[in-house]
Homo-oligomer: A and B are copies of this chain.
Amino acid sequence: MKPIYITRRETFNAAHKLWREEWSPEKNYEVFGKCSNNNWHGHNFQLFVTVKGIPNEETGFVINLKTLSKILKEKVIEEIDHKNLNLDVPFLKGIMASTENIAIAIWDLIEEDVRQNGGELAHIRIIETENNFVDYYGGKEPF
């Protein structure tokens, strides 16, 4: 019984800004720099979702990637692609739209769907630019 991990990548293009309403523009700029631009900026985000499990004896699959991709497209990408992460996305309402928080929110959004399809959600990575990305393991600390 050999657990293995399979990862699916999806992409989304979105606008956001890092901004706290209760702070002055000066403080927002001091903390968030260019990311606080009032009129938004944006990114080509890459989302990697990893599911852990034992390969099925008949299919050799941990989870059918068509199923995983369908979950991701319906639950995440449709809500978030070509959207404004601060204004348009129900599952991010009230959340500071840092990449860290987006990763946690996506985890909470899809964990149960993955489980009901026979897998265990193990890892979410969001690449924001070629120079930065975040990793979330559902609260686990592998290292």
Contact = CB atoms under 8 A, between A and B. Distances in A.
B58 A133 contact: no
A20 B18 CA distance: 28
Contacts of A65: 132
A134 B44 contact: no
A129 B13 CA distance: 9
Interface residues of A, number: 72
Given A13-B42, A61-B98, A135 B7 contact: yes
A88 interface: yes
A123 to B, nearest CB: 6
Contacts of A59: 18, 31-32, 96, 98
Contacts of A133: 6-7
A8 B103 CA distance: 16
A32 B122 CA distance: 24
Interface of A: 1-11, 13-16, 18, 20, 31-35, 37, 39-44, 50, 52, 55, 58-62, 64-66, 81-84, 87-88, 95-101, 103-104, 122-123, 129-143
